[in-house]
């Protein structure tokens, strides 16, 4: 944003600088696009980790190897971020299941021919095309059973009721050691959480660093638990969390309904317990 302001201020002709309306528009875009998206992704990840606590144990292994217990040093970007794999996998899996932007709209000025795998599609001028990100991210022809070799052993023993593509299984993003790229690269066009092409999200890397920093610091000393309400058993808590997460609505970005109005709705009480 500061580079944009500087470039605008340096223009010799006033009409080449950004108008007040354009400045306000950009400020709004950066705030909404930069804040809501990442904040909600972190909220969903915390809910998923409270709902599936065994994945926290899996993350603790990575967190403790990155910052050994008792280490007083503040995590340092260049030494930590390139080594973070599991936290990134949790971020990608959260974004796959709960992408903050659930559809991308594009309108063409002129008539266009699209050459697709299903044949040629003629688009008249001013057609609006909606890309449905949710269905791409859950496509049963693409997502099931990827990288099962990276699963922690308890995954195979779990009685999984959901089809694999709908389940929270972050290890699907972790390639075996024999593959040079650490994280799974989905087929082109099937993971569009950041969009694609010339208008791809410019804040992608910043969001990743924010997510890693928050989850790393949170799990360095704490575990996340959903607090039972009024004598709930664990099974009741799980059902309640599933219900909250399935009650998502796309506002500016995808959000869990009622969760941010905690005074009225009660929200979802979460406890951070200090790890030993």
- Binding-site entries for heme: 201
| Closer to ligand HEM by Cβ: residue 205 or 271 | 205
Residues 202-241, interacting with ligand HEM (CB under 6 A): 202-203, 206-207
Q: Where are the beta strands (DSSP E) in the chain?
A: 103-107, 112-116, 119-123, 128-132, 222-226, 248-250, 254-256, 270-274
| Closer to ligand HEM by Cβ: residue 92 or 237 | 92
Residues 120-159, interacting with ligand HEM (CB under 6 A): none
Which residue, judged by CB position, is nearest to ligand HEM in the bound state?
203
Q: Does 23 bind ligand HEM (CB under 6 A)?
A: no
Q: Where are the beta strands (DSSP E) in 87-233?
A: 103-107, 112-116, 119-123, 128-132, 222-226
**CB 162 within 8 Å of CB 168:** no
The residue behind tokens 């223009």 is 11
Tokens linked to 198:
């010339």
| Closer to ligand HEM by Cβ: residue 203 or 258 | 203
Q: Does 50 bind ligand HEM (CB under 6 A)?
A: no
Q: Does 190 bind ligand HEM (CB under 6 A)?
A: no
Angle (nearest 5°) at CA 138 between 43 and 200: 70
Query: Which residues bind to ligand HEM, rule: CB under 6 A?
Result: 29-30, 33-34, 37-38, 41, 95, 100-101, 104, 193-195, 199, 201-203, 206-207
């Amino acid at each position: 944003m500061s580079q944009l302001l500087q470039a605008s201020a340096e223009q010799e002709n006033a009409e080449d600088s950004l108008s007040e309306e354009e400045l306000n528009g950009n400020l709004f875009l950066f705030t909404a696009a930069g804040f809501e998206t990442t904040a909600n992704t972190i909220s969903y990840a915390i809910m998923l980790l409270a709902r599936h606590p065994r994945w926290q144990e899996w993350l603790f292994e990575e967190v403790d190897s990155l910052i050994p217990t008792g280490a007083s040093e503040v995590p340092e970007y260049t030494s930590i971020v390139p080594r973070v794999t599991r936290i990134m996998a949790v971020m990608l899996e959260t974004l796959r299941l709960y992408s903050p932007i659930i559809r991308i709209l594009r309108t063409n000025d002129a008539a266009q021919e699209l050459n697709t795998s299903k044949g040629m599609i003629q688009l008249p001028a001013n057609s609006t095309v909606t890309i449905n990100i949710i269905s791409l991210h859950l496509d049963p022809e693409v997502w099931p059973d990827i990288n099962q070799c990276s699963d922690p052993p308890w995954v195979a023993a779990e009685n999984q009721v959901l089809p694999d593509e709908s389940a929270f299984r972050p290890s699907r993003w972790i390639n075996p050691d024999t593959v040079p790229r650490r994280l799974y690269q989905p087929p082109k066009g099937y993971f569009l959480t950041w969009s694609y092409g010339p208008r791809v999200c410019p804040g992608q890397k910043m969001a990743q660093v924010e997510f890693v920093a928050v989850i790393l610091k949170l799990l360095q000393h704490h575990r996340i638990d959903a607090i039972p309400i009024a004598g709930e058993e664990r099974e009741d808590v799980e059902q309640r969390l599933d219900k909250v997460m399935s009650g998502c609505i796309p506002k500016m970005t995808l959000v869990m309904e009622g969760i941010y109005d905690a005074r009225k709705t009660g929200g979802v009480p979460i406890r951070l317990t200090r790890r030993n």
